[in-house]
Structure 1
Amino acid sequence: MNCSLKLISAFSPCKRFPLDKVIAGCLWWAIFLLFSGCQSSPDKTYRIGFSQRTLADNWRKSMLVSMKQELAFNPEIEFVVKDAEGQSDKQVKQIQELIDQQVDLLIISPNAAQPVTPIAERAYQLGIPVIIVDRRTASDQYTAYVGADNVEVGRTAGQYANSLLKGRGKLVEIGESPGSSADIDRQRGFAEILNAHPALQLVKKLDGDWDKRSFTNELTGLIKSNPDIQLIFAQNDRTALKAYDVCRRLGVDRRIQIIGVDGLPGKNEGIDLVDRGMLTATVLYPTGGKEAIRTAVAILKKQSFQRENRLPITLIDSSNVGIMKLQNQKVIEQQADIEKQNQNIETLTRTYASQKNTLYLTLVSLLIVLLLGTWALYLFRTKQVAYLKLARQNELLEKQNEEIRAQKNQIEVISQQARVATEEKLRFYSYISHEFNTPLSLILIPTEDLMAKKAVGTHELRSSLSLVQKNAYRLLRLVDQMLDLRKTDAGKQQLHASEQDLIGFVRDIVADFGRKAEKSRIDLQLITTLSALPVWFDTEKLDKVLFNLMSNAFKYTPKGGIIHLRIDTIDQQVRIQVIDNGEGMTPQELEHAFDLFYSGMPTYNLSKGIGLALSMEFIQLHRGDISVTSEKGHGTVFTITLPLGSEHLLASERSSATSRHQSFVETEDARELDSLPLQPTRHTGTIVVVEDNDDLRTFLMNRLGAEFDIIAETNAEQGWERILETIPDLILTDIMLPGMNGMQLTQRIKTDWRTSHIPVIMLTAKRQMEQRIEGTRAGADVYITKPFDTTFLLETLRTTLANRRKQQQRFGSDVLPQSENRQERKFLNELTALIETHIGDPAFGVEKLSREMGLSRVQLYRKVQALLDKNVMDVLSEIRLKKAKQLLLETTKNVAEIAQETGFSSPTYFTTFFKQHIGKTPSEYRRNQISA
């Protein structure tokens, strides 16, 4: 630390070496110290490889546990374990892998002596120390051996057996895996004792469980065939326990004594089995795990060691089993204490390492902080001016960015508003074109008709000119409203108010609507307690406001309804209310009643849209207010409030003019709207006309009624009902209709198989190609735009009906041919299937057929007549005849059978009917056809 500070103080900006390079070098040095100080865990110095024959039994697991316990005192050793799973070939491969990994020492517990010997010798020859544990190999080329003497194990078991049987008796021996050194040595030692005592007879030596074979069946048979067997020597405790189970099942477990080998502690191990009396004794065979590790450590550390490490064995029976259990318990407790102490030591070691690392980290951090502080001071002094300039530039740029963002947001808002306004205006002007087209059509069509005729009657001329005048006034009023709207948008609308009698002014307006109210049987009244009321107002503008409100009231009030105008004064203000009990408004329509470009209405009305918006503008020019309350189905109330006096008006807004602007009220003189007298003529078809404009609907009825039967309706819902009721020959409909529009009506007509055959002609003011395509997709046969030529309309109607008749004739060429129209094809297929299903029923006629088809008798008759130009009975007869001809030619049935099968009441009637239609009797028809 001191040298670092001296190094920093030795350099400064005035020296020849740059300070930043010096500090960078010091930082690298500090980081090196930090990482070198954090290395707390010791490196592994040695690697020991351990090849175990198997870890499936507890004895070998105990060996591995004791090895790891001893290795806890040698943390510098890396221990690699390989489990051969009782397979010699696999053990050889695993030992080769350990050799390839260049282990420093190799511990081998052979599965079998012969297979493992070559690889153990090779490791030994390569200079790798080799320790053989438990079982020996077939060679003496190893560094050390650790294990008990298996020959001595066999001798100890034999001596104890001789003692138990007192030198006389029959025995059975159960060995280890055949060919293992343990099996050979233990059997040899056991045999030495038996040979020394001839009265001890070994009945048979059985092999232990190996290669998926079990000795239990063989032992069971042996005990049954030799009931005088007195003792079993099993070369391990696992085998001994299985032998005990065999004896227990045979009921000889108290007679036959069993000696095992291993003497491990734990449940169902040798010591526990002796203590529970299941085994008579067990020979303690130590695992040698600790001894093997101690020998390996001595070899690796070049210390002295024994080449042959013989482990002591002892016999455990009922006399010493209690002491052995207690001793093992103590050993387990001591081992637990050792492990606990080891854990404490590891905890203290980690704590020490952590504290040491913390100290190193603190020292290095202080050094880094000192270096960084020095560097920061240097940078601050040398770059302070640059930072100030940069800060000023950043501040300027931030202000510019804020301005740009504000402008961007403002542009986005304006753009959104402009987009919405443009869309609404485009929609608004599309409706204007529709509103203008209707009165133009009703002006042009009668005019062209009059010009096309050489002679015109007085009644027809007066009626046509009346229609032209009425729609010219309507068009003029629409133009005036558009001009007023333009002035309002431009801010050029001026108020010219004068003091006049408001009661008399309103009374005159109500009188103008008198005839219209009388014709519609509407209760029209002016309700007020005032005889006169002087008010300053602009006559022209207030006249337009009241006219619009009255027109809307008449438009939405049904016949027999009421329209009342009420006038009173409240708080120096006059209140005018227009009250009706018409259809009312929805909450959404009420909210946007005075919006000019409101797009929420499903069917836009120009006079209502412009009229209410202009009315609000005109009332606000008077410093007044206009509001509306309404409920769907319960009428509407418009309320106007105007201030009394003239203090609220500017001098330029006062005028002395008192004339009233005259507004044309649409009245319908009964004489003018009467249908023209028609010449008696044969009607060529029935047409349903759906048109909401009264004048145009009346004109179409008059003009087309001379040639066709006309059924007229004002909306699509009523029109659909009349279509189903009459099944007409043709339908003429407008697109813009209240409620369900013409497109929806056409789709319903074309998708219902009862009406799908009827041609539909659309009559509309929409001229765009997209709208024509939409109408065609809906199923319209012809699309005619307004204003239209009456002659063209008549010729279109005639041609369409003529094409329908040609189609009927084509259908009539066969009984029930296929139609190109899907709905017509469905109807004809269903009709054919029903007739063929009941063809053998003589009582099956029109009544049953209509019920099966789900139609009335009249609807079925008109549908079949429209498609096939035949009545239903003719179709039934023709299908029966067709079936009869088929049976006559394709079968050998007699005439009576065919008559019954085709639904004729008797063979005589069948023969008569057949001859009337075919010209031959059934028998003659069959003979002629067969001979031909």
Structure 2
Amino acid sequence: MTLNMRRCIKLLAMVCITVVVMGCHKADVKSEYTIGFSQCVGSDLWRQTMLDEMKMELSLHPDAKFIYADANGNSNKQVEQVKQMLNKGIDLLIISPNEAQPLTDIVEQIYDKGIPVIVIDRKTSSTLYTAYVGADNYQIGKMAGEYLGNLLKGKGNVLEVMGLPGSSPAIERENGFDDGIKKYPGIHITAQVYGDWLKANAETQLMKLGNNLSDVNAVFAHNDVMARGSRDVLTRLNIKHPIKVIGVDALPGNGGGIQMVSSKLIDASLVYPTGGKEAIMTAFRILNKEPFTKENILQSVVIDSTNVQLMKLQWNRINSQQKDIERQQALLAEQRELYNSQQVIFNIIVISLVLAIVFGGLAFYSLMENRKINKSLETKNTEILSQRNQLIEMSARAEAATEAKLNFFTNISHEFRTPLTLILSPVEDMMRNEKLNLVAGKSLKLMHKNVFRLLRLVNQLIDYRKIGYDKQQIHASPNNIADFVKDILDNFQHNAQKRNIHLTFSTSEPNITAWFDVNMLDKVFFNLLSNSLKFTKNNGCIKVIVTKNNDSTVDITITDNGIGMEPNEVEHIFEQFYQADNGAAKGSGLGLALSKEIVLLHQGTIEVSSKKWQGTTFTIKLPLDNTTKKTSQHPIERLETDYNTQLYTADLDEQVITDPTAAFSTPQELSILIIEDNTDLLYYLSDKLGETYEIFTADDGSKGLNEAFERVPDLVISDVVLPGISGKKIAESLKTDIRTSHIPIILLTAQSNVEQQIDGIRSMADVYITKPFNLDYLLATINNLIKNRLILKEHFISDIDLAKMPVSKRLDKKFLNDFAGIVEQNLGNEHFNVDDICKLIGISRVKLYRKVKALLGCSIADYILNRRLKKAKYLLINESHSISEITYMVGFSSPNYFSTVFKAKYECTPSEFKRKQDA
């Protein structure tokens, strides 16, 4: 866009904005202020009158926005309503608290945020508010007491009907009434009841008094509603003598106190001004930054038969004036609406004219610019064509380079097969030699098994490359699919029987002819069946079902009741190199991806359904008709059946790890825990290390950690990548636990880069060894770690303090300090034993023994005895106690026993030792 066009658009925008602002300024005026009013309860006439007075005063401020909420007598609800008002962005809050204490916190919070708060009628328990509007309830109560004193001429009994317990008006009116009648000793308050401000509640409480009301001369109710209820109860009880009833509120209108006095339902009522008008007036003084009074106490007056008619006339006149104001406001609103609609029409006309002029100019300008743009586009087109040709040339070079890399990958994979074959054949020859089998039979079987594993991986990589990049076509021929699947299934019967897995086959028809490549499809079934056996526990079952469908397809279903998969694992199971978290059984993540590609080449589908811990079902659907490009009219025999069987059953031949704690095995002094999820490596390490050490094993991280805490071995060897928790987490957990912090840890891993090795050492492991590792190097490392631990033990002798012991770990130092401190504090207790130490430190007897043995190289009893003898030696040299006193000071039961033990340690009796020191 050129500079001139930008200028035109800016000019257009400025003109439109000016017109809209000028035209709509008065039509769309933002509310001047937003005032929120939270009412504790709005159902009674007094509070409805308060709201009406507020609305009357707000009619003089039409630009103000008013938000009203009624809590219906619930303090918690009122708190929530106030929070909602705060979220709406109120400028000022007017609140009539339901109860003082529950509303104090929210009022203080709003006040602290800088929002003005006007408390009306009832106060909170704090002075943190902007202004208060309301009558003096104490003064009203006092006026009522003085009025009744004059009315009864200084003598009589009074019943007081009070408001809601705990509310500030009820408390203040009660106190004021009590002080008011104190001037009249002849007047007594004979009873007080709570009417909760409600007529029905007041009637219920008075009915409970019953005949006791016959001695009452007057009733003072805290509001007119309860006064009316009191009068109804007195009439119902048909009490003979006249009883004066006065209330509080004196509200105008139908059902108000003024009408009650006029109708002689009650004798008098004290005006309790609602303060609605005064609250709004104070609010606008605060918002407009005008002077205001914080405490606005409204005055009261007694209304009785002498002035009630005058009050009624005044109210009727005020009501009439308000209606006139409302009619005038309605007329003003109509005029404003008419003005706004005319203003909108005018704005539209002006904007349309401006747009017509501007767009006309832009159209002419655009026509001139298009000619320049066309010339520029022609130049760019030429450049783009040149770049496209360059990209095509670069793409061809990249494709050639990719093809060269793939060819190299295929060739090197083929090259792997030759050395593997040269390894496999000599191994099989050695396995047939009985003498070699006696010496190295286990190792030969392990080599034989893992050579087949490597061959299977290499074959899968080559097949996957051929399918993915060479677009390999299958050579299909008509064959009986049922017999084909049954033959493959028979190859797994031996492995299934060894683990007592029930392997079954069924078919809907004995002869189901389909077109498929036997030498490719067998890889699919071999892979699926080997996976089912791998992930099915002993005594499980696997079902293979071949079903011919009516739509010229056949379904082959393989179902097991193995460990199953989670839904997120099922979604990715056919992705290349993906491995589900299926416990100890691991694979390359290529077999199922290759199987899917082979099924797709046959124009079929493969699906999977699985539930964790319930099993897995694979369903292959193949067309019966010939849909492939390369076919043969005669069945093609499958090649290398035994070879394929060995490839896919190699992982199923699990080595049995012998229990090193068997009955006839030689017990070993030192123990090693091996945590490794690869069964072959676990067996190999157990076999090699079992000749020298007692071996404990675990095939996942969680079991290994539990085994370490349970066995407390002398050394731990762990893989890094494990099911459950990783080897690094195991190292951190063991090194930060006082029970196992002394144990050396060796981590084995295939993660060989420097950053990963540094991370392993930071996990507090003692040694980090990468795979493949040299067994002699591992053995030397183990011997070195254990030897260093033994050297630390040898430093301990009875005459060396634990504080000077060379302990390498902070937790071990803390343990030794705690242990030594407990022993020192209890040396004089002859009944002190190992159980007492266990309770104080908080670990079991066995673990305490192993920990002390590992760190100090002696038993707990020997250590305690040595400490007692050392303290006795100190006392003999530095103190003047007798031999008997020292005997009991260091916890020996008798001087004879003490003398015997001392002589065995220091080759002289305590008496002889003391004489030598004195000499």
Amino acid across the alignment from 1:870: C
1:196-595 superposed matches below 5 A: 387-390=369-372, 392=374, 457-570=436-549, 571-595=551-575
Given the superposition, is the C-alpha separation of residues 824 and 393 from structure 1 closer, same or farther in structure 2, using an over 3 Å criterion? Answer: farther
Given the superposition, is the C-alpha separation of residues 387 and 730 from structure 1 closer, same or farther in structure 2, using an over 3 Å criterion? Answer: closer
Equivalence for 2:778:
793
Q: Secondary structure at the match of 1:748?
A: helix
Tell me by how many angstroms 1:681 deviates. 6.5
Equivalence for 1:750:
735
1:631 aligns with 2:614: no
Equivalent position to 1:858, from 846, 859, 862: 846
Q: Distance in 1 between matches of 2:584 and 2:727?
A: 15
1:532-589 CA distances to partner (integer Å, 9 max, x unpaired)?
3212112222211112212221222111211221221223221111111111111211
Equivalence for 2:759:
774
Q: Distance in 1 between matches of 2:548 and 2:471?
A: 31
1:586-616 CA distances to partner (integer Å, 9 max, x unpaired)?
1211111111254886989873521111111
RMSD: 4.5
1:811-830 superposed matches below 5 A: 811-812=796-797, 814=800, 816=802, 817-830=805-818
Q: Distance in 1 between matches of 2:726 and 2:374?
A: 67
Tell me by how many angstroms 1:652 deviates. 5.4
Equivalence for 1:887:
875
Given the superposition, is the C-alpha separation of residues 772 and 671 from structure 1 closer, same or farther in structure 2, using an over 3 Å criterion? Answer: closer
Q: Distance in 2 between matches of 1:744 and 1:615?
A: 36
Q: Is the 8 A contact 2:667 2:694 kept in 1?
A: no
Equivalent position to 2:587, from 596, 603, 607: 607
Equivalence for 1:873:
861
Equivalence for 1:622:
602
Equivalent position to 1:907, from 892, 895, 898: 895
1:917 aligns with 2:905: yes
Given the superposition, is the C-alpha separation of residues 626 and 670 from structure 1 closer, same or farther in structure 2, using an over 3 Å criterion? Answer: closer
Q: Is the 8 A contact 1:515 1:667 kept in 2?
A: no
1:834 aligns with 2:822: yes
Equivalence for 1:643:
623
Equivalence for 1:249:
none
Given the superposition, is the C-alpha separation of residues 603 and 776 from structure 1 closer, same or farther in structure 2, using an over 3 Å criterion? Answer: farther
Q: Is the 8 A contact 2:792 2:807 kept in 1?
A: no
Q: Distance in 2 between matches of 1:605 and 1:784?
A: 23
Amino acid across the alignment from 1:594: F
1:137-156 superposed matches below 5 A: none
1:136-168 CA distances to partner (integer Å, 9 max, x unpaired)?
xxxxxxxxxxxxxxxxxxxxxxxxxxxxxxxxx
Given the superposition, is the C-alpha separation of residues 384 and 853 from structure 1 closer, same or farther in structure 2, using an over 3 Å criterion? Answer: closer
After TM superposition, the structure 1 stretch with the greater mean CA deviation from structure 2, 845-854 or 510-519, is: 845-854
Q: Is the 8 A contact 2:584 2:677 kept in 1?
A: no
Amino acid across the alignment from 2:603: R
Q: Secondary structure at the match of 2:773?
A: coil
Equivalent position to 2:705, from 720, 724, 733: 720
Amino acid across the alignment from 1:516: N
Given the superposition, is the C-alpha separation of residues 380 and 569 from structure 1 closer, same or farther in structure 2, using an over 3 Å criterion? Answer: closer
Q: Distance in 2 between matches of 1:599 and 1:557?
A: 17
1:730-745 superposed matches below 5 A: 730-745=715-730
Q: Secondary structure at the match of 1:596?
A: coil
Q: Distance in 1 between matches of 2:440 and 2:889?
A: 67
Q: Is the 8 A contact 1:494 1:653 kept in 2?
A: no
Q: Is the 8 A contact 2:565 2:582 kept in 1?
A: no
Q: How many residues align?
A: 527
Given the superposition, is the C-alpha separation of residues 602 and 509 from structure 1 closer, same or farther in structure 2, using an over 3 Å criterion? Answer: closer
Q: Secondary structure at the match of 2:475?
A: coil
Tell me by how many angstroms 1:629 deviates. 0.9
Q: Distance in 1 between matches of 2:652 and 2:761?
A: 36
Equivalence for 1:729:
714
Percent of residue pairs bearing the same amino acid type: 38
Structure 2: gaps of 5 or more residues = 1-349, 396-401, 403-408
Equivalence for 1:666:
650
Given the superposition, is the C-alpha separation of residues 811 and 555 from structure 1 closer, same or farther in structure 2, using an over 3 Å criterion? Answer: farther
Amino acid across the alignment from 2:884: A
1:766-817 CA distances to partner (integer Å, 9 max, x unpaired)?
3222222222112222223333333333232222222221121123473532
Q: Distance in 2 between matches of 1:400 and 1:921?
A: 114
Tell me by how many angstroms 1:467 deviates. 1.9
Q: Is the 8 A contact 1:685 1:709 kept in 2?
A: yes
1:642-721 superposed matches below 5 A: 642-646=622-626, 648-651=627-630, 656-662=635-641, 663=644, 664=646, 665-666=649-650, 683=668, 685-721=670-706
Q: Is the 8 A contact 1:588 1:600 kept in 2?
A: no
Q: Is the 8 A contact 1:681 1:707 kept in 2?
A: no
Given the superposition, is the C-alpha separation of residues 531 and 914 from structure 1 closer, same or farther in structure 2, using an over 3 Å criterion? Answer: same
Q: Is the 8 A contact 2:524 2:595 kept in 1?
A: yes
1:464-485 CA distances to partner (integer Å, 9 max, x unpaired)?
3222111111110011111122
Q: Is the 8 A contact 1:734 1:742 kept in 2?
A: yes
1:64-104 CA distances to partner (integer Å, 9 max, x unpaired)?
xxxxxxxxxxxxxxxxxxxxxxxxxxxxxxxxxxxxxxxxx
Q: Is the 8 A contact 1:812 1:870 kept in 2?
A: no
Q: Structure 1 length as normaliser, TM-score?
A: 0.51
1:765 aligns with 2:761: no
Q: Is the 8 A contact 1:679 1:706 kept in 2?
A: no
Q: Distance in 1 between matches of 2:366 and 2:717?
A: 88
Q: Distance in 2 between matches of 1:831 and 1:774?
A: 33
Q: Distance in 2 between matches of 1:536 and 1:591?
A: 29
Q: Distance in 2 between matches of 1:608 and 1:699?
A: 21
Amino acid across the alignment from 2:883: V
Q: Is the 8 A contact 2:573 2:579 kept in 1?
A: no
Q: Distance in 2 between matches of 1:861 and 1:746?
A: 22
Given the superposition, is the C-alpha separation of residues 485 and 678 from structure 1 closer, same or farther in structure 2, using an over 3 Å criterion? Answer: farther
Tell me by how many angstroms 1:671 deviates. 10
Q: Is the 8 A contact 1:763 1:785 kept in 2?
A: yes
Q: Is the 8 A contact 1:496 1:655 kept in 2?
A: no
Q: Distance in 2 between matches of 1:390 and 1:457?
A: 91
Structure 1: gaps of 5 or more residues = 1-364, 415-421, 423-428
Q: Distance in 2 between matches of 1:508 and 1:716?
A: 39
Q: Distance in 1 between matches of 2:779 and 2:472?
A: 47
Q: Distance in 2 between matches of 1:710 and 1:584?
A: 32
Q: Distance in 1 between matches of 2:578 and 2:680?
A: 28
Q: Distance in 2 between matches of 1:651 and 1:682?
A: 67
Given the superposition, is the C-alpha separation of residues 490 and 867 from structure 1 closer, same or farther in structure 2, using an over 3 Å criterion? Answer: same
